[in-house]
């Protein structure tokens, strides 16, 4: 690991009452912002692109949280739920009008 590389911390993230998924939290010492970074349908949170983006954000003082969607966590190639149920939502995001999301 180079001196500019930060190690991600493994976490579990509850996305509904009965579903938890794996997550990676990567944070510089004093982050100035926090960004939730979700993968696409073709790659998981550990994909080289996702790792590179998280490292680039960290180098700029931005913490990231990457997580697996439940269908990825289960090893399924098909999406079995809608994004509003699967994606973790902050209180801030849930209070914003739908038109501004």
Q: Is residue 39 part of a domain?
A: yes
Q: What pLDDT score does 17 carry?
A: 87
Mean pLDDT, to the nearest integer, of 52-70? 92
Q: Is residue 75 part of a domain?
A: yes
> Could you give the residue ranges of the DSSP H alpha helices within 1-101?
48-59, 70-73, 83-86, 91-95
Q: What pLDDT score does 73 carry?
A: 73
Q: Is residue 96 part of a domain?
A: no
Q: Is residue 100 part of a domain?
A: no
**pLDDT tops 90 at residue 96:** no
**pLDDT tops 60 at residue 19:** yes
Total domain count, the chain: 1
**pLDDT tops 50 at residue 71:** yes
Q: Is residue 99 part of a domain?
A: no
What CATH number is given to the structural domain containing 41? 3.40.50.1820
Domain that holds residue 66: 9-88
- The verdict on pTM exceeding 0.75 is no
Q: What are phi and psi of 47, to 5 degrees?
A: -60, 145
Contact (Cβ atoms closer than 8 angstroms) between residue 67 and residue 95? no
């Amino acid at each position: 690991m180079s001196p500019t590389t930060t190690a991600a911390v493994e976490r579990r993230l509850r996305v509904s009452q009965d579903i938890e998924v794996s997550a990676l939290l990567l944070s510089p010492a004093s982050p100035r912002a926090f960004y939730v970074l979700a993968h696409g349908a073709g790659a998981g949170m550990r994909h080289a692109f996702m790792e590179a983006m998280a490292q680039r954000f960290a180098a700029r003082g931005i913490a990231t949280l990457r997580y697996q969607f439940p269908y990825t966590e289960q090893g399924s190639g098909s999406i079995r739920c809608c994004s509003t149920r699967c994606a973790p939502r902050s209180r801030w995001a849930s209070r914003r009008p739908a038109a501004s999301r």
